[in-house]
Amino acid sequence: MPLLSGEESVIGRLAENTPEVLDAYVTFTVETPLLSERQKRELNPLIIKIISATRLPNKPVPIEVLQRLCVPTYCKYKFHNFPPHRTHEQIHGTHVYFKDVNVLLTGTMKPGELEAYLRGPPLKIEVHDRDRNMETITKKPALFGDNEADEHVGKVSFLAYKSTAYKLKNEMWHPHGVAKVSLTDLLLGRKYLNVSAPIRNCSVPNTDASSEDKNGKITESESNSFLLPMGDYLESDSVLKVRVEIAVPLGTRAEIADAQVTSCPYGYIIYIFDYNNSSLLHDLVEEIKEINTKALQLDGWPVHLIGMALAASKLKTTLEKVSELDIITGFHLLDGATHLFVLEGLKDKAIKKLWDRHFERTYKPEDGQLVVLYNSQLAFPQRLYTDLEVLFYHFHLYEPLFTIAKSSLLYVRGVVPQACFQALSRLSSLCRSERLRDVIHGDLLPSAEVITALSLKYGVSLTDEDLFTQTPPLPTFSPDDYTVPGKVSRVKQAVSSAVDNYNEAYIQRKKKIADKMSFEKNYIKANINAVCQLKGKTEKPRFEAFMIFPVDGKSVFNYSCQSLNSAELAKKHLRQEMAKVPKTRFSYCQDYLSAMFEPVDVAAACKEFFEKSKSMWQSPDGFVFPGYKSSIESNLHPQMPHEARREELREPTPDLLAVDNQPQEPRGRGQSITSSFVPAPDGQHSPRCSRDITISRCLKSLGEQISTAEGQSWDSPFAPQGPEQSFGSKSRRGPHPPVKMKLNRFGFV
């Protein structure tokens, strides 16, 4: 297998040592790859490499015990219809490295079958790290009470404990871990996938305590005393590293759709709506009946015979003949709260008709919830519900589905059959899904076997009212049967009563009801529902798209360190095409601004900017030496003042306080100050008086100027306190009054 993946040499080691040969290595080498480029394009090999399993659990069973009691660690999986693959066994440990290579020639599959499988559930890879070595187990007889399982007898948990070891096709089951690897990214054109899938506990199978052997005799199953407990994969955060490679990327959607026309002709459509929506129920039942009647050529039969024929018909033809019939198969679940229709048929014929008629109906807010899951791009190779009792299977649950799913006993292993549990869990998850793609990827469609088991376990007999085969009456707007949405009307109205249009009370009441209906109508919700119904019919504008594909026969380089990186060369070509339309922007997805494609190469632009900045470090003539400077010149302050300013700063500063205290001649109109100082209590002169007198003189001079201008005298409020002071032609005794100032045309206050 490694040689088919492109490797040129394979090394193997002797598995068991012998006395003659202690150890041996064998190497196979080829000069040229086994598959040519033409064979790779035709066969399209898919390479699955299991690299390692890291952080495997060391409890509840230590690694040393696993090495002694169990076989070495290995992985196992099955891809579609290919044979199961098992890796080489490796020694136990918390980190196990497999380096296993498996090559699957997907070119041998039918066109479109690979794409349909990749859209489905993820690939399950089993990690077996605690399989007991059956050769070392010896079963000893024991009396009642000596066995470990005897203490669980009589308990409800014994139902889940009693049978954990059994044989599946002559193979013993052991607890193991499961890693799910999603391969849907290969549909996007990718060639390589590096996946780190978390490892989780496997599901414990549910079987009876006894089984039949080949001769038909009932024998007891193996005791679970020799099985080891399940490992704590979730707590240990165990991870399985897988690499997936494909030689030729999968084609575009148009190519896949053309390939699926013949090999995958079927499609699905799912309806989920309220139980009281009788009009939609009637329409769906009649549309399915009409399509099946036309496909089975029962048009000329009476109506009652057609219904009986469809109810008793069952597909017993081969798959080739079934693929030619344009019929609808599936099931209809009703539980008193919800209707669930899961329909399958030819996606371009019967299913397309149902989808087109969906937009021809008118829906009202009072009809309740309606969910339709449909995707025209999903195709499937075969039908899933051809093994049911009839073409279209109806069954009624005795309780609503969500009520049954909330029951605690449902999750006690052994109380409910495994098939019923699988059906209930999948249907409950299906009713909460929002896209058909999520339903297919999560494997939520129950099989025909589990649907039959569910109807036998929880089903009740159907009535004529459940199927509603008659046409529902048209809604009326009479005042007696009108109710506000959310309320229930229990008023009974006579069928033969006539409407009196000339009754004044009736006319007034009818007017009030009309006003009330127009007032309570939710126009916003009605508009949203109308847009949602027309969303599938409106054609979205298609914009011109640029797509780059590798040229056949040339190698593709995906690493960023290579100069011939295919992705970077493709982006360069896209930028050249974008440069032709400079005022237009391109995007990978038009719904998100984050998907906008850069019109320039950001890495190249940054590199050019840094190179330009670095080139400015030198002058055009190169590096210039400024010349030698002494230590004194180097230590001069860059903002040192000029020499003239320094000479001015060296001059002595006059004593302003001494000049202020010198006596000055009185100015003005011949008046003099009687006292210049106020004696202090201790016989010394107060310096504050000198400051007040100085301020007084300044204000006096200012007041004289104001008096000359205004023709008014001015009083100084800062005269020194004393027995008697004289200012101008006025005299005062005692303390001076507070300052009274006002704003005049000179701007003084």
pLDDT of residue 624: 78
> Tokens 């399950």 identify what position?
124
Entry pTM? 0.56
Q: Range of 291's domain?
A: 265-467
Q: Among 102-106, 153-157, 439-443, 685-689, which stretch is predicted with the lowest mean pLDDT?
A: 685-689
Contact 247, 45 (CB under 8 A): yes
Question: Are 559 and 608 members of one domain?
Answer: yes
Task: Name 340's bridge partners.
Answer: 272, 333
Do the domain assignments include residue 612? Answer: yes
- Averaged over 313-330, what is the pLDDT? 66
pLDDT tens track for 574-592: 888 888 888 888 888 877 8
Do the domain assignments include residue 64? Answer: yes
pLDDT of residue 592: 81
Could you count the other beta carbons within 10 Å of the beta carbon of residue 76? 14
pLDDT of residue 391: 81
Question: Are 218 and 294 members of one domain?
Answer: no
Do the domain assignments include residue 297? Answer: yes
Indicate whether 681 pLDDT > 70. no
pLDDT tens track for 519-537: 556 677 777 777 776 655 5
Q: Among 16-25, 40-49, 216-225, which stretch is predicted with the lowest mean pLDDT?
A: 216-225
- Write b or e for each residue in 97-113: b if 16 or more Cβ atoms lie within 10 A of its Cβ, otherwise e: ebebbbbbbbbebebbb
Question: Are 438 and 327 members of one domain?
Answer: yes
Q: Among 262-271, 319-328, 497-506, 668-677, which stretch is predicted with the lowest mean pLDDT?
A: 668-677
Question: Are 444 and 302 members of one domain?
Answer: yes
Indicate whether 483 pLDDT > 50. no
Separation between Cα atoms, residue 131 and residue 466, nearest integer Å: 52
Question: Are 390 and 303 members of one domain?
Answer: yes
Separation between Cα atoms, residue 598 and residue 590, nearest integer Å: 14
> Tokens 């038009």 identify what position?
590
Q: Which of 563, 597, 623 is the last residue of a domain?
A: 623
Indicate whether 41 pLDDT > 60. yes
When pLDDT is cut at 50, 70 and 90, the band that residue 362 belongs to is confident
pLDDT of residue 319: 46
pLDDT of residue 259: 54
Question: Are 207 and 335 members of one domain?
Answer: no
Question: Are 245 and 322 members of one domain?
Answer: no
- Averaged over 242-270, what is the pLDDT? 75
% of residues, the chain, pLDDT over 90: 20
Closest to 3 measured CA to CA, from 43, 38, 45, 41 = 45
Highest-confidence range of 12-26, 328-342, 450-464, 510-524, by mean pLDDT? Answer: 328-342
Indicate whether 95 pLDDT > 90. yes
Helices within 34-130 (DSSP H only): 37-43, 63-69, 113-119
Paired tokens of 66: 């696993």
Indicate whether 373 pLDDT > 60. yes
When pLDDT is cut at 50, 70 and 90, the band that residue 741 belongs to is very low
Question: Are 731 and 605 members of one domain?
Answer: no
Separation between Cα atoms, residue 621 and residue 624, nearest integer Å: 8
% of residues, the chain, pLDDT over 70: 65
Do the domain assignments include residue 512? Answer: no
Separation between Cα atoms, residue 78 and residue 85, nearest integer Å: 6
Asked if residue 620 has a cis previous peptide bond (ω within 30° of 0), the answer is: no
Name the average pLDDT for the chain.
75
Q: Among 109-113, 354-358, 521-525, which stretch is predicted with the lowest mean pLDDT?
A: 521-525
Do the domain assignments include residue 678? Answer: no
Q: Which of 444, 467, 490 is the last residue of a domain?
A: 467
Q: Which of 623, 648, 672 is the last residue of a domain?
A: 623
- Averaged over 395-419, what is the pLDDT? 88
Indicate whether 731 pLDDT > 60. no
Do the domain assignments include residue 76? Answer: yes
Question: Are 355 and 304 members of one domain?
Answer: yes
Do the domain assignments include residue 71? Answer: yes
Indicate whether 627 pLDDT > 70. yes
> Tokens 């096709």 identify what position?
169
Indicate whether 646 pLDDT > 70. yes
Do the domain assignments include residue 579? Answer: yes
pLDDT tens track for 530-558: 777 665 555 555 666 666 666 655 667 76
Question: Are 237 and 109 members of one domain?
Answer: yes
CATH number (domain holding residue 248): 2.60.40.150
Question: Are 418 and 324 members of one domain?
Answer: yes
> Tokens 């007041």 identify what position?
703
Question: Are 437 and 377 members of one domain?
Answer: yes
Q: Is the model more confident about 563 or about 72?
A: 72
Domain count, the chain: 4
Q: Among 10-19, 106-115, 558-567, which stretch is predicted with the lowest mean pLDDT?
A: 558-567
Separation between Cα atoms, residue 398 and residue 465, nearest integer Å: 15
When pLDDT is cut at 50, 70 and 90, the band that residue 694 belongs to is low
pLDDT of residue 295: 83
pLDDT of residue 481: 43
- Averaged over 101-120, what is the pLDDT? 87
